[in-house]
Amino acid sequence: MSVYETLCGILGEENVLRDEPMGAHTTFRVGGPADYFVMPQSEEALAELAAFVTKEDISHYILGNGSNLLVGDKGYRGVMIQVGRGLGEIRVDGELIYAQAGGSLARLAAVARQESLTGLEFASGIPGTLGGAVMMNAGAYGGEMKQVIVSARALAPGGEIREIPVKKLELGYRTSIFAANEDIILGAVMKLEKGDKDQIQDYMDELKRRRVEKQPLEYPSAGSTFKRPEGHFAGKLIEDAGLRGFSVGGAQVSEKHCGFVINKGKATAADILSLMEQVAERVERQSGIRLVPEVKRIGEF
């Protein structure tokens, strides 16, 4: 039986795409075709899929919203596994929220607001899924996931489902235990606090206003392109190096916020990668500080 037939047998033909352009599934809106793009609709299907690709030693990558990812122009040789809406259940029990990894942060924050729960307002404008947010300890405007997570559920390579308490997740600046192991995040439990629904909405509106005012939301990007160097801000270092508006092909350092690399129009992954590398080199020459990409690079360039 072929790989395609096996994938269809596990997931259903409607959830298996061949030669799927990754530009349709990343917020940079670039990237060549993945050999297989699959969308498991249950944890059981995801576990069976993971067992198959591991046993057959097939390259695979777990994708959420593609909001922190640069896929090469020649695509990805292997199976791209999207943990998305089919694994996006959200359940509230008092001050606890139980959510699957495929749920969007925006929806999660909206559910919390509807239940008059405060603590997730910072996540309302982050264009990612809960799984990606746990993986990277996502944060914004002084909030981060480690402030609200109680535990995470994960599928280990051997097929065991583990419940991992927050103290063992090693949540740090844009990292977690999942950055170093091969577990697949299935979901998380978060504890919030009771608040006033109107005040929660007002704060979310204020954060949205600040994002619209300061960030180039009108262009495809991956958000903050580089990690924040200790004691510095990446955007300020880039601006001080004279790189505001610097471009390579269709990729550009945003004139609105130098911490963002944007797809100004018809950029390729190679354009974006070249721009990132040149920015890092120029900033290092100027300041002695080497910027580290926050964006993950995969596939063939």
Render the burial of 130-158: b for 16+ CB within 10 Å, e for the rest.
Answer: bbbbbbbbbbbbebbbbbbbebbbbbeee
| Catalytic residue positions, numbered | 174, 224, 294
**Alpha-carbon distances, residue 286 vs 36, 225, 227, 259, 292 (angstroms):** 43, 19, 18, 16, 15
Angle of helix 3-11 relative to helix 43-55, nearest 10 degrees, comes to 160
How many other C-beta atoms are found inside a 10 Å radius of the C-beta of residue 289? 15
The answer to whether 128 and 25 are in contact (CB under 8 A) is: no
The answer to whether 34 and 16 are in contact (CB under 8 A) is: no
The answer to whether 31 and 70 are in contact (CB under 8 A) is: yes
How far is 144 from 130, CA to CA, in rounded Å? Answer: 12
In DSSP terms, 37 is beta-bridged to: 17, 80
